[in-house]
Amino acid sequence: MNVVKNQQEVLSTSAPRALTSLRVAAIAAAAVTVLLAGCGGGDKGEKASQTAAKVNKEEITVHQINFVLQRQQGLKPEQAEAASKQVLERLIEQELAVQKGQELKIDRDPKVVQQIEAAKREIIARAYVERIGESVAKPTAEEVSKYYNEKPALFKDRRIFSLQELAIEAKPEQFAAIREKLQASKNMAEFAEFLKANDLRFQGNQAVRAAEQLPLAGLDAIARMKDGDSAVTQTPNGLTVLFLVGSRSQPVDEVRARPAIEAFLSNQRKSEQVQKDIKALREAAKIEYVGKFAEGAPGAAASAPAAATTPAATAPVAPAQDAAAATPAPAASGLDANAISKGMGLK
């Protein structure tokens, strides 16, 4: 099985994420209400009501506190007031440090200026990408159903796989004997003994993975395997043998899968639109490579910088309670946590 590098990042289903975002926003709003009340409401004017504290001549506003709260997850409504006060104290300490840093002219240090400019560029680029994404149409119910029906291994026929893998260092002339012994072996232990007896170096690992946690490009091949089957893939250093020790059925119906599919298709479209837009910008711009960078300049193919700001296509994942049932064992080699996380069930 080839462990294919796909999309980035693990996410839960879009529905829980949306609910979490709404809850965080509600908590932040509650915190603002509490702070406004503590500042005397709107009787003293809008500016006064938005000031949470003054540090020397500088003000810390409710909006600053609100911004920090919106980035925190897991807060409960009853924790809003206490969290707001904690955030305010951190902002006060931060403001003190900023003021002292400015007094010492740290803000003019070349390294600091460079970091500020880099952060500014990143923020602006990401905001631009997000704006492009806002213009992308949401997937229709028909498109969601089509995706659901086209991916039975992810949904209708979803399984939890218990996998074992051996990464074997071998020369091409040894491949035939290894494959032959693999076919004759009753289990992985017997096969591993053969490798040891023939002084073939290998690394083994095992993991339990739900279908959506496997690389999308290799999922169909694994889904066709039966318990006890094995698959062999040639690598630059030898062979990788994948054993399907066992599996259990755990299907997901379309209703439960819909939010995740909608999120995946939306992110996929956003990613495609951003790539298309960046490509158009490159074609319209005058880009000139200078000095050593002019040697073998990649031209239009050099879109790596854009990738950093391109929305990741977040693949559909199983409901949280199902994913929990597939908690992985420590893994290494091709099935290490980092490689598997690039499958459908991103971190």
The overall pTM is greater than 0.85: no
d(CA 131, CA 133): 5
- Residue 119 CA, chain-centre distance (Å), reads 21
Q: Are strands 202-210 and 58-61 parallel, antiparallel or unpaired?
A: unpaired
pLDDT band (50, 70, 90) for residue 17: very low
C-beta of residue 328 within 8 angstroms of C-beta of residue 209: yes
pLDDT (average), residues 16-40? 43
Ordered DSSP codes for 56-120 = TTEEEEHHHHHHHHHT--S--GGGHHHHHHHHHHHHHHHHHHHHHHHHTTGGGSHHHHHHHHHHH
Q: Mean of the per-residue pLDDT values for the chain?
A: 77
**pLDDT-based confidence at residue 294 (cuts at 50, 70, 90):** confident
pLDDT higher at 216 or 296: 216
Asked if residue 344 lies in contact with residue 219, where contact means CB atoms within 8 angstroms, the answer is yes
Measured CA to CA, the distance from residue 88 to residue 139 in angstroms comes to 41
Domain locations in the chain as residue ranges: 20-111, 137-289+297-347
User: Which residue in the block uniquely carries the two structure tokens 């023939």?
Assistant: 198
CA-CA distance, 42 to 188, in Å (whole number)? 73
For residue 184, which phi and psi values (nearest 5 degrees)? -85, -15
Percent of the chain scoring above 70 in pLDDT: 71
Q: 3-state class of 177 per DSSP?
A: helix
pLDDT at 239 over 80: yes
* Mean pLDDT calculated for residue range 141-161: 95
- Reply yes or no on whether the pLDDT at 315 is more than 60: no
**Weakest-pLDDT range from 105-114, 191-200, 274-283, 297-306:** 297-306
- Rounded to an integer, the average pLDDT of 285-300 is 81
Which range is most confident: 13-17, 198-202, 304-308, 309-313? 198-202
Q: Which residue has the tokens 């002084």?
A: 199
Give the other-Cβ count within 10 Å of 108's Cβ.
10
Tokens of 332: 């290494």
Residues, the chain, total?
Answer: 347
pLDDT in tens, 55-66: 999 999 999 999
Q: Which residue has the tokens 């996998």?
A: 163
Q: pLDDT tens-digit profile of 209-229?
A: 999 998 888 899 999 999 989
**Per residue in 79-94, pLDDT tens?**
888 899 999 999 999 9
pLDDT tens-digit series, residues 318-336: 444 444 343 333 333 333 3
| pLDDT number for residue 299 | 56
Name the maximum alpha-carbon separation found in the chain: 86
Q: Can you give the pLDDT at residue 317?
A: 56
pLDDT for the residue numbered 249: 95
Distance from C-alpha of 134 to C-alpha of 88, rounded to nearest angstrom? 33
> Of the candidates 269, 263, 215, 268, which has an alpha carbon nearest to the alpha carbon of residue 242?
215
Mention every residue, 6+ apart, whose C-beta is less than 8 A from residue 116: 107
Task: Yes or no: say if 160 and 329 are a contact pair by the CB < 8 Å rule.
Answer: no
Share of the chain above pLDDT 90, in %: 51
* Residues near 160 by beta carbon (within 8 Å), at least 6 away in sequence: 208, 209, 210, 211, 247, 248, 250, 325, 326
